[in-house]
Amino acid sequence: MIKKAFQIGVVASLMVAVNLAWAAAGTEPGGPMGQLRGVRVSTSAGVTQVTLDLTGTTNQKLFTLDHPERAVIDLGHTRLGDGVRLPLGAGVVSGFRVGTQPGGTLRVVMQLKTLTPTRSAWLQAPGSAGRQLVITLGDASNSAPPAAGTAGAMTTGRAAATAPGMTAPATTPVSMTTARTSVIAPAAPPAEIEPTLRTIRAPHAPVDSGRDVVIAVDAGHGGQDPGAIGRGGTREKDVVLAIARALAERINGEPGMRAVLTRDRDEFLVLRDRIGRARIAKADLFVSIHADSIANRDVSGASVYVLSEHGASNEAARWLADRENAADLMGGVKLDDKDKQLASVLLDLSQSANISASMTAAQRVIGSLDAVGQVRKAQVQQAGFVVLKSPDIPSMLVETAYISNPDEEVALRNTRHQGALAEAIFNGLRGYFESNPPVGTRFAQQVRRSTMASVLAAPASDATTTTGHTR
């Protein structure tokens, strides 16, 4: 009984300490939002430092993006303070932008002249109860760091500071990134040492580069081809470009994923050029965004298509007829030096696997779309759309809604609804890659590490043997 009372007292004391810590930081759950009170930039010895003055520590997520090059920091439960002015660029930073994200997240974007190693550290703001998040861009290994506690101080471990009302120093994680790596949760206590995992790799095994999965996002129609037009004058080419841009931004904001837009402006592309751009980008998946139309204005809802067997057969015949000029299949398989029968078998195998992967990914997407609004076809449909005819890139076509339906036409023009559609498609794609990670990607690394950790954590099997009748 005494032991139980002691345990309850310890838990209560810990809860009080946690609440005091949140209160000192000014970012307690459900409480007032933290504020970004200032942004400063400085350069020294080839290193650029960006200092964010905040009212308190908060969850932060740091990553980099390319095309164009950017470093991005997301600050949870934070808003931009009144009167804050962004500085001009300096060093590797050419400019700044600030925007808000769903859930009360403040996003600070640093436009870069070139991608560079990026890391961050929390510091106690001098002479105040606030905190500073210092983002260092560049290799500081050859330069002496400024004195700790100053605006330019940089650390590569955890920065410690004592918050008011606390007797022990508070620790916060430091993000060390070289390419779109993010640290979201606090680090484990030093006493908990994670075991080192070493993998024995065969010489012929694929290189585990930890690369991003590449998704080609295709906005349908464009230029002189407006696509379907609603009764209110809404053009399909405009709304699908907005959804495609939102989807690409959401993909690029996720570590381990990268989007390539087949078009990012109002331009006309022939259908096979869209596939070609995806192949040039070495895309792992192709998704084409459209808005359906039909004479019956009452019809509504989303649907998702993959290539039909008939469409695949037609495309196979086209490839085999033109195989002297055909590009390599993904994975380096060539058709131009194979006899007709072998080339046919190789292409058939590639297409079968491709349609199967497309169907699995499309099922994920349509399941996510069902949570946003009405789905016209609950099952994935198959058709011979030209943009789905890449024999080696899993592809899908998403009809986001019926622009011919008055209510859905209005919704398609709404920026928030466009974002919700993009988020639903993204969730489906991410779920697919988490379960089906391409070899050599960061998703594959995560799956392998999770599997190895589960094996290490599993209890040892009972080695006791028993004798009895054999059946």
Per DSSP, the residues of 55-103 read SS---EEEEEETTTTEEEEEETTEEEPTT--PPPPBTTEEEEEEEEETT
Q: What average pLDDT does the segment 28-39 reach?
A: 75
Quick one: which of 51, 61, 54, 58 has its CA closest to 21? Answer: 58
- 27-140+171-177: CATH topology is Immunoglobulin-like (2.60.40)
Token pair, residue 89, equals 């660029």
Tell me the mean pLDDT in the region 256-284.
91
pLDDT of 351: 67
| One-letter-per-residue 3-state SS of 273-331 | HHHHHHHHCCCCEEEEEEEECCCCCCCCCEEEEEECHHHHHHHHHHHHHCCCCCCCCCC
Cis preceding linkage at 32, omega within 30? no
Cβ count within 10 A of residue 162: 12
Distance CA 211, CA 448 (A): 15
Phi, psi of 434 (to 5 degrees): -65, -35
Least confident of 264-268, 335-339, 432-436: 335-339
Indicate whether 311 pLDDT > 90.
no
Is pLDDT of 203 > 70?
no
pTM above 0.85, yes or no: no
CATH architecture, domain 213-436: 3-Layer(aba) Sandwich (3.40)
Whether the Cβ atoms of residue 126 and residue 150 lie closer than 8 Å to each other: yes
- Look at residue 312 in the predicted model and tell me its pLDDT: 55
pLDDT at residue number 338: 58
Least confident of 30-44, 67-81, 175-189: 175-189
Residue pair 55/82 in contact by the 8 Å Cβ criterion: no
pLDDT, tens digit, for every residue of 124-153?
A: 877 667 888 999 998 755 444 444 333 333
Name the burial class of residue 196, with classes exposed (0-12), middle (13-18) and buried (19+) by CB atoms within 10 angstroms of its CB: exposed
What pLDDT score does 89 carry? 86
Higher per-residue confidence, 411 vs 210: 411
Q: Would you say residue 367 has pLDDT above 80?
A: yes
State mean pLDDT over 422-449.
89
Model confidence over 321-361: pLDDT tens digits?
454 445 455 555 555 555 566 655 665 666 677 788 899 99
Nearest to 282 by CA among 235, 345, 236, 330: 330
Neighbouring residues of 412: CB distance < 8 A, sequence distance ≥ 6? 230, 234, 239, 291, 400, 401, 403, 418
> How confident is the model over 51-89, as pLDDT tens digits?
999 988 889 999 888 778 889 999 998 999 888 888 988
Q: Is the pLDDT of residue 32 over 60?
A: yes
Q: Is the pLDDT of residue 273 over 80?
A: yes
Give the Cα separation of 161 and 80 in Å (integer): 24
Q: Give the domain ranges of the chain.
A: 27-140+171-177, 213-436
